[in-house]
Amino acid sequence: MTAAAAWDVVVIGAGAAGMMCAIEAGRRGRRVLVVDHAPTPGEKIRISGGGRCNFTNLNAGPANFISANRHFCRSALSRYTQHDVIDMVRRHGIAFHEKTLGQLFCDGSATQIIHMLLDEMQAHHVALALSTRVERVERSGDGFRLALTSGMAECASLVVACGGRSIPKIGATGFGYDLARQFGLPVTETRPALVPLIFDAELLERLKPLAGVAVDAAVTTGGVRFDEAMLFTHRGLSGPAILQASSYWREGETVEIAMLPGLDVYAALREARTSHARQSVQTWLGHHLPRRLAQSIAEDEHTRRFNLADLPDTRLRSIANAVNAWRVVPVGTEGYRTAEVTLGGVDTRALDQKTMAARAVPGLYFIGEVVDVTGWLGGYNFQWAWSSGWVAGQAA
């Protein structure tokens, strides 16, 4: 039997969290190997933010994360903050800008972030084994023994940074959850999040002409409201407001949508009935909403041939509700195929919030998306990857 290569730290997963952890452990003088089954590192970084990587958010804080334990992320987020990330990005001469709501994007390309991480890994002598599968992991004394497709490896600390299940096409697997279970750690229910919502065939038939229409909306579900853009698609609804809401939506629940959230539509319609009595409902709606949407609402409300003056208060109320209290029950989501993240994951009760170490298994760490900490849309998920990776890198 050939001797196993010996490392201080093996990190499984060359994503944002894994690479950050490897850099920090390497900085401390640890001999670090990062293993990934994909042929290239940081694939999610590459495709993130429309190719420009929304690498953090100026306003990142615990309130922007979903977890069974809302407080778990606080420690890591406060030890390695968005400002630390910004410093690192600046040090590497990467130009960036705030797009909206504190979201920071590269001016150029997301690959700049990947190169930044690879340069730092190289500077700290981190080894990277790509196209390498982990076939087996077992306890070996105080450390771990891994069967890799390239041979055996042993390490004192094992960091699991395999990400979640979203976008299997680019290498996402449930391997991190399997490892957690193998070592006796609980895993909370996982589900696709930051994902478009889909409608049943009947509703889709009615809404088909609206595919491609976008509005600024207020979307409420599960007691949480998001005010951002919303997009009608061929399958249902998408856009930032819907993606955000999807993380809180559960099967069978209603999503309430206001398409003119800044306007009291009922009061405005009543006023217009006096001031523009001969205007049609569709024309009035068309002054406030995209034309196709205005037409669709007017048709649904059976008011196309009516002028405002013809309509009693009850009809105006009904139109106002169709605009600002539209209640829909999606039949599901587009699933992991398009979900930006996975909600749920390794139960935080089993982890030390200061180091991300498994309490019951010395030397074992879980970081990034594989953990039950899920950020909102807007750079929060990368911030969690950087923060959790950084703290584990100080300990592993």
Q: Least distance to ligand FDA from the beta carbon of 232, Å?
A: 20
Mark residues 334-353: x for contact with ligand FDA by CB under 6 A, - for none. Answer: ------xx------------
Q: Least distance to ligand FDA from the beta carbon of 69, Å?
A: 18
- Is 24 a residue that touches ligand FDA (CB under 6 A)? no
SS3 333: strand
SS3 167: coil
Calculate the CA 107 to chain-centre distance.
21
C-beta closer to ligand FDA: residue 12 or 242 = 12
Q: Please spell the DSSP secondary structure of 275-316, one letter per residue.
A: HTTT-BHHHHHHTTS-HHHHHHHHHHTT-TT-BGGG--HHHH
The answer to whether 370 touches 176, Cβ cutoff 8 Å, is yes
Q: Least distance to ligand FDA from the beta carbon of 282, Å?
A: 37
Distance CA 38, CA 383 (A): 23
- Is 382 a residue that touches ligand FDA (CB under 6 A)? yes
C-beta closer to ligand FDA: residue 13 or 261 = 13
Mark residues 43-72: x for contact with ligand FDA by CB under 6 A, - for none. Answer: xx--xxx---xx------------------
Distance CA 136, CA 285 (A): 61
- Is 385 a residue that touches ligand FDA (CB under 6 A)? yes
**Cβ-based neighbours of 205, under 8 Å, separated by 6 or more:** none
| Phi, psi (rounded to 5 degrees) for 78 | -85, -20
- Is 167 a residue that touches ligand FDA (CB under 6 A)? yes
Radius of gyration of the chain, Cα coordinates, nearest whole angstrom: 25
Q: Least distance to ligand FDA from the beta carbon of 52, Å?
A: 8
Q: Which two tokens stand for residue 370?
A: 């594989």
Which burial class, exposed, middle or buried, applies to 276 when counting CB atoms under 10 A from its CB (0-12, 13-18, 19+)? Answer: middle
- Any idea what DSSP says for residue 321? H
Please report, as residue ranges, which positions from 120 to 139 form the binding site for ligand FDA (by CB under 6 A).
Answer: 133-134
- Is 13 a residue that touches ligand FDA (CB under 6 A)? yes
- Is 16 a residue that touches ligand FDA (CB under 6 A)? yes
Neighbouring C-beta atoms of residue 391, cutoff 10 Å: 27
Among 10, 11, 14, 129, contact with ligand FDA (rule: CB under 6 A): 14
Distance CA 320, CA 306 (A): 16
Residue type, 63: A
Q: Least distance to ligand FDA from the beta carbon of 345, Å?
A: 10
Q: How many residues bind ligand FDA (CB under 6 A)?
A: 38
Q: Least distance to ligand FDA from the beta carbon of 96, Å?
A: 12
- Is 15 a residue that touches ligand FDA (CB under 6 A)? yes
Residues forming the site for ligand FDA (CB under 6 A):
12-18, 35-38, 43-44, 47-49, 53-54, 133-134, 161-163, 166-167, 171-173, 175, 340-341, 368-369, 379-382, 385
